[in-house]
Amino acid sequence: DGRMGLVWDGENAQFSSRARVKFNLSGETDSGLSFGGSFRVDQENYNNEIDEGGNSNESNRSAARGTAGSVYISGTFGKLSMGDVVSAAEAAIGDLTELGYTSGEFAANPEEIDFLTGDGENEEQGPTALYEYTFNGVNLFASMTDGSRRDCGAGNVTYGTLGCYEFDEDDDTDVAFSLAAGYEFGAYNVALAYSENGDGREIVIGGTAAINEFKIKGFYADYDDRDLGQLGDFEFDFDDNADTFEVDYDRAYGLSVEYAMANGVGIQGLWIRREVEILEAFADGAEDAYDAYGIGASYDLGAGATLAGAIIKNEIFADNETRADVGIKFQF
Amino acid sequence: DGRMGLVWDGENAQFSSRARVKFNLSGETDSGLSFGGSFRVDQENYNNEIDEGGNSNESNRSAARGTAGSVYISGTFGKLSMGDVVSAAEAAIGDLTELGYTSGEFAANPEEIDFLTGDGENEEQGPTALYEYTFNGVNLFASMTDGSRRDCGAGNVTYGTLGCYEFDEDDDTDVAFSLAAGYEFGAYNVALAYSENGDGREIVIGGTAAINEFKIKGFYADYDDRDLGQLGDFEFDFDDNADTFEVDYDRAYGLSVEYAMANGVGIQGLWIRREVEILEAFADGAEDAYDAYGIGASYDLGAGATLAGAIIKNEIFADNETRADVGIKFQF
Amino acid sequence: DGRMGLVWDGENAQFSSRARVKFNLSGETDSGLSFGGSFRVDQENYNNEIDEGGNSNESNRSAARGTAGSVYISGTFGKLSMGDVVSAAEAAIGDLTELGYTSGEFAANPEEIDFLTGDGENEEQGPTALYEYTFNGVNLFASMTDGSRRDCGAGNVTYGTLGCYEFDEDDDTDVAFSLAAGYEFGAYNVALAYSENGDGREIVIGGTAAINEFKIKGFYADYDDRDLGQLGDFEFDFDDNADTFEVDYDRAYGLSVEYAMANGVGIQGLWIRREVEILEAFADGAEDAYDAYGIGASYDLGAGATLAGAIIKNEIFADNETRADVGIKFQF
């Protein structure tokens, strides 16, 4: 895929573009099993992730090591995938609607639900396995990691490499897993998921409805014993306070609406709220709910080219600014 | 592409080979706009650049972040590209003739004109945009960066990632831009360009003439307030002096000639001079003009394979050696 | 290719999967010469190697720099390859049979013969050249590096980049080379190889026999003045001793057997012994022979999918554990 355009970061307009290629590989055995794999070229780069503060965290993920991209095998027994797959919860519920030509990236992806497993979490356990099975409109999902934290080498590398096994340096940890079930009836879809990751617990319920030109999606997620350190994109900045304080991620909920006209014009809206529990008394007055909301518009140029733009305000930004993007995105 | 052969580095013969793949992606919208993108596999590697001294400078450029490869959209309005595109000056004038099977790389690329913008300069501003428009033999070019230096993370990283925006850490800088115009008449082509980058100014004039089997190209570049720190491939080594001294890059000019015979044999010649202004009195006697000259021969084997060799003397090398290469290059 | 499955590391079952893509490029000149190149996507990653202990050694190898992947040209004169090619010895003799869905990787690749040149050795000299010529069942092989260690930049980088030549910092070293000859007669094949790398010397003899459903392969390798520092995958751990001691790699020999049934089921067995010479008297009682042996089974599912598993005990592991893998591997 590719994209090019302008991002207003709250203070300046900036150019932003990219070009990527994804490999999709597949085959079918003599007995009718399907198998395949997929990864992007840039997922072969082990030093390719940077955190919210802009630092490279050298996460060292790689499709050639099982920690980016994925492979699968499917048949009448369902579908089994392994690699950097989504959790059962995310497979069943998904994220909210993406806004703008950068798909929400210009405003820290407020459309992404902060699932407790997969999706950037528990990466140090190596590949995740995901199993999916469908019958009569019921979709069942189960995902898990292997419960062995491969702590070999500097820091906490997440190489899936086999040379990396070392008893004394690996930690046994709890298996991180997720279970989910969904039901489709006509234009409606509801799903429920439960996940565990270390001490953290997650219950998420989500649903979608497609009514004429409208597509509506909502979710509610409740977390137990989930500290912020586990969160990926969602970071608070308490620089304004003399003292920082401890918080737990308590719950999140949100809603998105898409409206698609026959002439290729679409309008999208998004609102999400994340609530934290403040664990220290002196900080009781601090903000414990963070909203993000935005509106976007798109125009389908055909052949995979789409003109799109959006305005999003995301309260997790330290400067609390409103950001916007406008540009064109391509599917090759 | 690929290549294999021998390089004489002035003291030893060394093997040198490579294999690369480039993705070229394109599409056309319903209304007739063309769009596309291209990048090489090795441009997905963020740590892939090393400086003249052989150190990795971890420039962290990536097609997936808009700082390597490029995307474009074109129609009756012209062509707009974004990413790691060349400057307007380079788009209009280009470089001199490449010599040898390593395309001049074995002798620090003397065929490359040291353009003030793009081409390895002002990379910390993220993607560059380039606009091109042609009518009646007149070619117009304009390129610019967004004027915002993304100084997030260690050193001065050039990630194009959107998570990297940070008010307090980003510096506003001047927009680096370049404007150029060219005119083609029959087998002749002339072009003029003006560029600004920070305090630096550049005026370049270039021209080509194709006369029978000969193709001749010349250029003259004049720089104002351009310090050597801005230069990419062109670095002086004053180790022989007890005191180093400050210089400005003053001007450069050069000429290349290609002679192509019908039987596939070609001969190429190249001469370029770079002049610096010595800013400190005590160093007045130091060399302020650096020549590079060379001659090459090639033989087209057909199907994209070419046998080629060259001898180049480049005075910017500290040891002032003469280098040579001979080998075969492939286009796949 | 791709694969997914479970590895028993002696203490835990762990998920392990991967997806990779290889580019194979080729052409033919007007005069009938063939040429081509090949490399994998993940070979464009310069920081992609980690040692036995799990540390990234930032070997910085890259197909775009000639130190991963390879290019070739072939005609009636034979075949000349350059890049990260195997040595003449490995080209003539090869390795033993790979076991399990991870091809022996889960147990530190005991099927790999520790050749003295190529194969992870003498990488700091940049690309290796390999020449092959065949007539009347006789196969001749010669490989060499250029004898110039490119020691530019931090550590001992192995960039093949041309900007990296520097007289004062490059070391002249001895050319590492390998010569080998093989002879095929019916279902039998024998080969002999001699190699030099610095002070090290290597003589290897190997042979294969294909008898009905059986395929048998054996080798004997004798080393002179080869210190363990030169070894790649083969590292001893003397943590149990209060004092470490010096050893030389003395010799290795081994045998593998494959049995393939018509119904797609295969069984494989492998045994290899590596002997070291203990150079210090106080350590005379230490173990100086290290065996690795294993057995595997596979089932061909058709279309490039294979179910495979193996159990291997490799005595070079510090904990002396038995490991196993079971999973599915794909060829796309």
The chains found to touch B (3+ Cβ pairs under 8 angstroms) are A, C
Q: Note the pLDDT tens digit of each residue in B11-58.
A: 788 888 889 899 999 999 988 999 999 998 877 754 444 443 334 444
* Inter-chain contacts counted by CB atoms under 8 A, chains B and C: 165
**What CATH number corresponds to the domain at position C94?**
2.40.160.10
Of A108, A303, A319, nearest to B29 by CB-CB distance is A303
* C318 conformational bin, left if phi > 0, alpha if psi -120 to 50, beta if neither: alpha
Of A21, A301, A319, nearest to B167 by CB-CB distance is A319
Residue A323 has pLDDT above 50, yes or no: yes
Which tokens hold the place of B264?
Answer: 């596939």
pLDDT grade for A227, boundaries at 50, 70 and 90? confident
Among the listed residues B321, B272, B317, the one whose alpha carbon sits nearest the alpha carbon of residue B99: B272
pLDDT at C232: 41
Q: How near does any CA of chain B get to the CA of A302, in Å?
A: 5
Range of the domain at A284: 2-46+60-330
d(CA B236, CA B314): 11
Which residue stretches of C94-247 are H helix? none
Q: Least CA distance to C48: which residue of chain A?
A: A46
What number is the average pLDDT over the span B65-94? 92
> Per residue in A86-106, is it b (16+ CB within 10 Å) or e — as a string?
bbbbbbbbbbbbbbbbbbbbb
Of B17, B106, B319, nearest to C82 by CB-CB distance is B17
- Asked whether residue A53 is assigned to any structural domain, the reply reads no
The count of other CB atoms within 10 Å of the CB of residue A234 is 21
B196, HSE (Cβ side, Cα atoms, 13 Å): 6
Task: Judge: C105–A163 Cβ closer than 8 Å, yes or no.
Answer: yes
C227: DSSP letter = B
- As beta bridge partners, residue A277 has A248
d(CA B172, CA C87): 54
d(CA C203, CA B69): 48
pLDDT at C57: 45
Mutate to test the interface with C, among A162, A168, A169, A175 (most CBs of C within 10 A): A162
The more confidently predicted of residues B270 and B290 is B270
* A33 conformational bin, left if phi > 0, alpha if psi -120 to 50, beta if neither: beta
- Asked whether residue A126 is assigned to any structural domain, the reply reads yes
* Residues of chain B positioned with their CB less than 8 A from the CB of A328: 35, 73
- Asked whether residue C66 is assigned to any structural domain, the reply reads no
Task: Judge: A71–C3 Cβ closer than 8 Å, yes or no.
Answer: yes
B248, HSE (Cβ side, Cα atoms, 13 Å): 14
Of A12, A55, A105, nearest to B154 by CB-CB distance is A55
The count of other CB atoms within 10 Å of the CB of residue A332 is 18
Q: How near does any CA of chain C get to the CA of B152, in Å?
A: 22
Task: Judge: A105–B159 Cβ closer than 8 Å, yes or no.
Answer: no
Tell me, rounded to whole angstroms, the distance of Cα A105 from its chain centroid.
11
pLDDT grade for C185, boundaries at 50, 70 and 90? very high
d(CA C20, CA C13): 23
- Asked whether residue C57 is assigned to any structural domain, the reply reads no
What number is the average pLDDT over the span B94-102? 96
Q: Note the pLDDT tens digit of each residue in B100-143.
A: 999 998 888 899 998 998 876 666 677 899 999 999 999 999 99
- Asked whether residue C304 is assigned to any structural domain, the reply reads yes
In sequence order, which residues have a C-beta less than 8 Å from that of residue B219 and are 6 or more positions away?
A: B93, B96, B113, B204, B205, B206, B207, B252, B253, B254
The count of other CB atoms within 10 Å of the CB of residue B122 is 25
pLDDT at A55: 40
d(CA C40, CA B20): 10
Instruction: Note whether A184 and A207 are within 8 A (CB).
Output: no
Task: Judge: A82–C51 Cβ closer than 8 Å, yes or no.
Answer: no
In sequence order, which residues have a C-beta less than 8 Å from that of residue A87 and are 6 or more positions away?
A: A115, A116, A117, A118, A119, A128, A130, A143, A178, A193, A195
Task: Judge: A18–B45 Cβ closer than 8 Å, yes or no.
Answer: no
Task: Judge: B53–C26 Cβ closer than 8 Å, yes or no.
Answer: no
What number is the average pLDDT over the span B259-283? 90
Q: What is the DSSP string of A14-31?
A: EEEEEE--EEEEEEE-TT
pLDDT at B169: 53
B174: DSSP letter = P
CA distances from A80 to A67, A112, A196 (A): 16, 24, 20
Q: Is C283 helix (H, G, I), strand (E, B) or coil?
A: helix
pLDDT grade for B59, boundaries at 50, 70 and 90? low
User: Which percentage of chain B shows pLDDT scores above 70?
Assistant: 80
The more confidently predicted of residues C139 and B165 is C139
pLDDT at B60: 57
Which tokens hold the place of C166?
Answer: 């520097």
pLDDT grade for B9, boundaries at 50, 70 and 90? confident
Mutate to test the interface with C, among B12, B41, B331 (most CBs of C within 10 A): B41
Which tokens hold the place of A273?
Answer: 């709220």
Return mean pLDDT, chain B: 83
Residue C208 has pLDDT above 90, yes or no: yes
Q: Note the pLDDT tens digit of each residue in A51-91.
A: 433 344 445 567 777 778 899 999 999 999 999 899 999 99
CA distances from A48 to A43, B43, B58, C77 (A): 8, 12, 12, 44
Task: Judge: B162–A40 Cβ closer than 8 Å, yes or no.
Answer: no
- Asked whether residue A54 is assigned to any structural domain, the reply reads no
B228: DSSP letter = G
pLDDT grade for A45, boundaries at 50, 70 and 90? low
Instruction: Note whether A17 and B128 are within 8 A (CB).
Output: no
Which tokens hold the place of A252?
Answer: 């999140």
Q: Note the pLDDT tens digit of each residue in C92-124.
A: 999 999 999 999 988 888 999 989 988 766 666
d(CA C121, CA C142): 16
pLDDT at B244: 63
Instruction: Note whether C56 and C50 are within 8 A (CB).
Output: yes
Instruction: Note whether C123 and B15 are within 8 A (CB).
Output: no
pLDDT at B236: 53
Residue A278 has pLDDT above 90, yes or no: no
* B164 conformational bin, left if phi > 0, alpha if psi -120 to 50, beta if neither: alpha
What number is the average pLDDT over the span A88-103? 95
Q: How near does any CA of chain A get to the CA of C186, in Å?
A: 32
Q: Least CA distance to B324: which residue of chain C?
A: C162
The per-type count for chain C, helices as H runs and strands as E runs, is 1, 19
d(CA C77, CA B294): 32
pLDDT grade for C161, boundaries at 50, 70 and 90? low
d(CA A82, CA A104): 27
* ipTM for this model: 0.85
Task: Judge: B27–A305 Cβ closer than 8 Å, yes or no.
Answer: yes
The chains found to touch A (3+ Cβ pairs under 8 angstroms) are B, C
Q: Note the pLDDT tens digit of each residue in A149-196.
A: 665 544 334 444 565 566 555 566 778 999 999 999 999 999 999 999
C2, HSE (Cβ side, Cα atoms, 13 Å): 27
Of B47, B161, B172, nearest to A47 by CB-CB distance is B47
Question: Count of domains in chain C?
Answer: 1
What number is the average pLDDT over the span C63-79? 88
- Asked whether residue C9 is assigned to any structural domain, the reply reads yes
- Asked whether residue C324 is assigned to any structural domain, the reply reads yes
Q: Least CA distance to A14: which residue of chain B?
A: B146
Q: What is the CA radius of gyration of chain B?
A: 21
Give kind and range of the element (H or E) at residue B91: helix B88-93
d(CA A156, CA A169): 11
Q: Note the pLDDT tens digit of each residue in A12-26.
A: 888 888 888 999 999
d(CA A33, CA A24): 17
Please, is C283 exposed, middle or buried when counting C-beta atoms within 10 Å of its C-beta (0-12, 13-18, 19+)? Answer: middle
Q: Least CA distance to C154: which residue of chain B?
A: B55
pLDDT at B281: 77
d(CA C153, CA C314): 37
Least trusted range by pLDDT, from C239-248, C288-297, C306-315: C239-248
